[in-house]
Every structure is written in structure tokens, then in C-alpha cells.
Amino acid sequence: MKDYYYFLGISPDASEEDIKKAYRKLSLKYHPDKNDNDDFFAGRFREIQEAYEILSDSGKRRTYDQNLESHQKSFRYNTPPSIKTFTSNKIHAKKGEEIIINWQTNNADVVKILPFGLEKPFGERIFKITEFKDGKFQLLLHATNSLLHKTAVQGITITEVFENDAAQFKNSVEEMFKPQPRTPINRTGQPKIMMLIWGILILAAAIYFLFRNFG
């Protein structure tokens, strides 16, 4: 049975206003017109609409809550979730290359694959990697038994393959000059090259004062 509360990212005791806010936010994010009519976003958009249609109607929501509770009680809640298979047809790929992943889970009522989102307990997905981070693309499968509050996690790492050395060098240079996420150490999100230059300058200054003190 579909967990509409999970689809909208809200708790079962969410108010009508909470439901409306979640629906508006997710509708804008997953609308097919804003995502090149991608099948995944279209499917996610339909699920969000379906969830809102049920939960925004007090009568339908009451019936749904009763059915959900009955379903959860009959679920195999004593058995923790597990991942039987999670495979990819490639673990080395070029940017833009087609990837096929397959998965099968057991005893999980909520299944999610990052970075995509909610999925069925088993299936296949075809996609293209448009961007690697530090030469890697990470996939994470989460299989959750919501009654036990337990989750099984398995990952796949796909490494980037370059056409030639020049392409790899270009990618490395671009990575050095690309702004980085803000951290306590790098509060302004400076590129790696700037952090490297600052590190060299600080080291040079430290060496200079060290020799000056002993000179």
C-alpha cells in the first residue's frame, strides 16, 4: 500500500495547511514541464497529485488512515528489511553514457534510490550520468521497514572514464577552479585552487618567521 504521507514528506498527524504547503513545494519541483518531461519526474508528479487528492479530503483521508493502519498491522513487521540485489551494468562510465541498474528488496514498505527518490521494492532503471563529483557518481539504495524503523542501505560507485588524457586534465583543472560547498574551514566556498594558494602563503609565512626568529 502506498504511503502518501511519505510521498509528501509529512507526518501522519500533519495539518491541512502542512499538506497544502508540501504539495505546492513538490509540485513545482517535480512538474514534468520543468524537467524535460522526464518519465521519472512525471511518475513522481502523479504520485504527489494522488497523495494530495486523498489527504486533502477529510473523508478520503479518514478511510485511507484506517486502511493504512490495517495494512501495517498485517505487514511482516517482525522481519527486518534486506536488499537481495542492487547491481549496475557498468561501474566505469563516460559522462552522458547510459547506465542500467536493477534492484530487489525484501520486507521493505518504503524503498528509495538516491539521487532519484522513491522507487518500487524491485525494478530496473535506465539513466545517463550528466555530472560526476570528483570523478565518481554515487548511488544509494535505502530499503526501510517503517514499522520496525529499520533501514538496509547498499551503495554503488561508478567512476568516470575519460576519452583521453587531455579530457582528464581539463576536468581536473575545471574542478580546481569550481566553487566549493561552504564549510567551517572554507566559509566563502572558495575554489580548491584558492585554498591551495592560501595554504602555500601561510606555509611560506610560517617558514619565514621561523627562520627570522632563529636568525
**Which tens digit of pLDDT belongs to each residue from 27-74?**
888 888 877 777 777 878 888 999 999 999 999 999 999 888 777 666
Give 147-190 pLDDT, tens digit per residue. Answer: 778 899 999 999 998 765 555 556 666 666 677 777 777 777 77
**Pair 70, 11 in one domain:** yes
Which residue is associated with the grid cell 484506517? 66
Question: What are the grid coordinates assigned to 16, written together?
Answer: 491541512
Q: Among 74, 101, 126, identify where a domain stops.
A: 74
Q: Which of 161, 181, 202 is the last residue of a domain?
A: 161
Residues 122 and 186 in one domain: no
Which of 124, 139, 161 is at the close of a domain? Answer: 161
For residues 1 and 48, give the distance between their C-alpha atoms in angstroms, rounded to a whole number.
Answer: 15
Q: Are residues 87 and 157 in the same domain?
A: yes
| pTM for the full predicted model | 0.50
Give me the number of domains the chain comprises. 3
Q: Kindly state whether residues 170 and 193 are assigned to the same domain.
A: yes
Look up the domain containing 42 and give its range: 4-74
Q: Quick one: pLDDT band at residue 22, thresholds 50, 70, 90? A: very high
CB 156 within 8 A of CB 139: yes
- Domain of 38: which CATH number? 1.10.287.110
Q: Omega before 121 cis (within 30°)? A: no
pLDDT digits (tens, 9 = 90+) for 178-188: 777 777 777 77
Whole-angstrom distance, CA of residue 27 vs CA of residue 25: 6
Which residue bears the cell 534492484? 103
User: Are 143 and 179 members of one domain?
Assistant: no
201/178 same-domain check: yes
Average pLDDT of the residues of the chain: 83
- Kindly state whether residues 173 and 206 are assigned to the same domain: yes
